[in-house]
A and B are shown apart, each in its own frame.
Chain A
Amino acid sequence: MNSSDFCTVEGLDSYYGNRQVLYDVRFRIPRNRITVIMGASGCGKTTLLRHLIGLKPCRPGQVLVEGKDLGAFNSRELMLYRRRTGVLFQSGALFNSLSVAENIAVPLRVHTKLADETIRIICSIKLHMVGLAEFRDYMPSQLSGGMRKRAGLARALAMDPEILFVDEPSSGLDPITAAGLDRLILDLRETLGMTIVVVTHELESAFQIADQLIVLDYGRVLVAGTANEVRGSPDPRVVQFLGRQADSKPPDLGKYRASLLQ
């Protein structure tokens, strides 16, 4: 592990029941850099993110955070780690019974001793950052899907986390708003020195923001490197993914036919 790494993943296998979804995944997450994990739907991106956050247990030695084994963290260490992280889930995961501003205030009230007025101002600043300054008193049910996503990002940013995990930030957003979020992610790295991990299958956004790209396919790392290294990869699946070419036949066609015809 390099001292400039926030996290390293070493030989991570992952299962849902008997079904294996990640195979010997290995890569580094450098500090103060943007790492983009991309790949087709269902390739294991979100599962990988759940391991990095500590939501899905991993075997000892598979995920190291600043050299310490995430799989061996006790509940206090896990709580302290989560306090340093911000997470935007695909759904936004807002509390539906709280207004947008109250959602952002929750982690600040739980984890800090900040005064109510300071928290109120922080909420306004975060909402401005994601372009929702006018919506602080709205309830999540009154927002569109894209707005809920941005509100979720504002909440993930509430504590100015050292490491930010973002799952599909651009999905459901118009191109202008999506470009604004890309700009914000770059500004967060530049201004606050955040380490940021973005899961996406939006190619344009990925190449726009990434310091490092990890391309997953059927649970395996196909290639990891800079944008130029990934663009130059001769791997046919990488070429297919970047060229947005459909599979010539579904990969599970044999199993599908057997299940119907035998």
Chain B
Amino acid sequence: MQWKVIERGHVVAELEGDLNLWSVPEVRDSLLKVARKKSIRRVGVDLRGVRAMDTAGTALLVELHQLLFRRGSDLRLRGVEDHILKMIRLAGLEGAFEMENS
């Protein structure tokens, strides 16, 4: 996973590989550590490099969304391809996340 700083308080995490119940614990530690910083107002998660995402990956996005929403910050998903969208839909969360095209 790589972080890109877009501007002050706005970062993007670029995820790669499988986002599943085996990889989520490690990815979660990194994501939440940054998202909990008071200076962070917006977190982007770029999923373009994610080959497969299961329910655990979806749950991680929900957890990140909850954390940021409670603080008045927001989460934007990028690079959401069809297989990711299908998983989000299967979880009943279609439309729950803000998505960007770029």
Q: Interface on A for B, CB 8 Å cutoff?
A: 108, 112-115, 117-119, 121-122, 125-126, 128-129, 157, 159-160, 187-188, 190-192
CB distance from A21 to the nearest CB of B (A): 36
A159 to B56, CA, bound (A): 8
In the assembled complex, which residues on chain A have CB atoms less than 8 Å from the CB atom of B87?
191-192
**Of B7-15, B17-25, B38-46, the one touching chain A:** B17-25
Contact flag A118-B86 (CB < 8 Å), given A125-B55, A129-B92, A160-B54: no
CB distance from A104 to the nearest CB of B (A): 11
In the assembled complex, which residues on chain B have CB atoms less than 8 Å from the CB atom of A157?
55
Q: Please state if B90 and A112 are interface contacts (CB–CB under 8 Å).
A: no
7 closest residue pairs by CB, A with B: A121-B59, A160-B54, A191-B86, A113-B25, A125-B91, A128-B92, A122-B59
In the assembled complex, which residues on chain A have CB atoms less than 8 Å from the CB atom of B55?
122, 125-126, 157, 160
> Across the two chains, which residue of chain B brings its CB closest to A184?
B90
In the assembled complex, which residues on chain B have CB atoms less than 8 Å from the CB atom of A159?
21
Q: Interface on B for A, CB 8 Å cutoff?
A: 20-22, 24-25, 28, 54-56, 58-60, 62-63, 83, 86-87, 89-93
**A190 in complex: contacting residue of B54, B86, B92, CB < 8 Å:** B86
Known: A121-B62, A125-B59, A125-B91. 12 other contacts (CB 8 A): A108-B21, A112-B21, A114-B24, A115-B28, A118-B56, A118-B63, A121-B63, A125-B62, A129-B91, A191-B86, A192-B54, A192-B87
Interface of A: prevailing SS: helix
In the assembled complex, which residues on chain A have CB atoms less than 8 Å from the CB atom of B89?
191
In the assembled complex, which residues on chain A have CB atoms less than 8 Å from the CB atom of B91?
125, 128-129
Q: Please state if A115 and B21 are interface contacts (CB–CB under 8 Å).
A: no
CB distance from B97 to the nearest CB of A (A): 14
In the assembled complex, which residues on chain B have CB atoms less than 8 Å from the CB atom of A187?
90
In the assembled complex, which residues on chain A have CB atoms less than 8 Å from the CB atom of B24?
114, 118
A128 to B92, CA, bound (A): 7
Between A and B, 18 residue pairs with Cβ closer than 8 Å are: A108-B21, A112-B25, A112-B56, A113-B25, A114-B21, A114-B56, A118-B25, A118-B28, A118-B56, A121-B62, A122-B59, A125-B58, A125-B62, A125-B92, A126-B55, A129-B91, A157-B55, A191-B86
Q: B24, B25, B55, B62 — which one has the most chain A CB atoms within 10 A of its CB?
A: B55
> Across the two chains, which residue of chain B brings its CB closest to A111?
B21
> Across the two chains, which residue of chain A brings its CB closest to B22?
A112
In the assembled complex, which residues on chain B have CB atoms less than 8 Å from the CB atom of A128?
91-92
In the assembled complex, which residues on chain A have CB atoms less than 8 Å from the CB atom of B86?
190-191
In the assembled complex, which residues on chain B have CB atoms less than 8 Å from the CB atom of A119?
59
CB distance from B55 to the nearest CB of A (A): 5
